[in-house]
Amino acid sequence: MGQILDALTDLVRPGMSTLEIDHEAERLITEAGGRPAFKGYKTRHSDPKFPATICACLNEEVVHGIPSKKKLLKEGDIFSIDIGMEWPYSKKESGYYTDTALTVAVGEIPQETKKLLAVTHEALEVGIRAAQVGNSIADIGRAIEMYVKSQGQYGIVRDLSGHGVGHAVHEDPWVPNYYVKQLESWKIEPGAVIAIEPMITMGDWRIRVLDDGWTIVPIDKSLSAHFEHTLVITKDGAEVLTRRPSEK
């Protein structure tokens, strides 16, 4: 999965459409023997199905942006790619799910925007380090929240969170990026598979859904970044299943 996300990142340049990147993502997933986990997904029976392989978010878009041939990357943008895969894919039996995301610069971006990306990426790593046997899910959120608050006036999106993953795209537990006392009782055990995904804004943490029924933005339209990894908990710590070769 990490290799696929690295390959998609290599396509990011001014003039590229997000739909072109989406088509390449589907090709790479299929070539690897998998199935796009997001395409056709819906949270409730009454919801519209998500129409694409990746969630493609530009600038203020936090998550769930829909790729489009009209949605072109330009110099100075930041672009988030969120991708999920079921692997191995078979019509006879279910595979296993992973979920991963990153935000990248399109060309040159201001220093303050670079810091937003760096802080969000490090918040993910802080969360991963907190995902240890004996800790609780609340410890992950507390570690992320404390780190982000130490870095400046950023908004930690509260209405979206990480989650369990593995047998389905979204499973229990809820893994928020801030401290929730009730989650102190959810102890982390070996074998647990979770996705940690900080979503950080340069302004207000409150969000709204656009008219397409999917794309989520902060209410103040401030720039947003998103990083995510799927990890399995072992007795020796968290093993990240979606590490990109470029991270190693």
Rounded alpha-carbon distances, angstroms, from residue 161 to 7, 19, 109: 26, 26, 27
- Mean of per-residue pLDDT scores for the chain: 97
- Would you say residue 171 has pLDDT above 90? yes
Is the bond into 88 cis (omega within 30 degrees of 0)? yes
- Torsion sign (Cα): 97, 244, 128, 111: negative
The CA distances from residue 236 to 134, 189, 190, 199, 248, in Å, are 11, 11, 9, 27, 19
Separation of alpha carbons 122 and 42, rounded Å: 30
Q: Which domain holds residue 7?
A: 2-247
Q: What is the pLDDT of residue 239?
A: 97
Q: Closest by alpha carbon to 31, among 89, 83, 80?
A: 89
Q: For the domain that residue 163 is a member of, what is the CATH number?
A: 3.90.230.10
The pLDDT assigned to 48 comes to 85
pLDDT in tens, 88-120: 999 889 999 999 999 999 999 999 999 999 999
Mean local confidence (pLDDT), 124-144: 98
Query: Residues 237, 240, 241, 246: is their CA dihedral positive or negative?
Result: negative
Domain tally for the chain? Answer: 1
3-state secondary structure of 12: coil
Q: Give 37-68 pLDDT, tens digit per residue.
A: 999 998 778 888 999 999 999 999 999 999 99
The yes-or-no verdict on residue 248 having pLDDT over 80 is: no
Encode burial over 81-116: b for 16+ CB neighbours within 10 A, e otherwise: bbbbbbbebeeeeebbbbbbbbbbbbeebeeebeeb
pLDDT, residue 232, reads 98
Non-local CB neighbours of 236 within 8 Å, separated by 6+ positions: none
CB atoms within 10 A of CB 15: 10
Mean pLDDT score, 230-243:
97
Q: Model pTM greater than 0.85?
A: yes
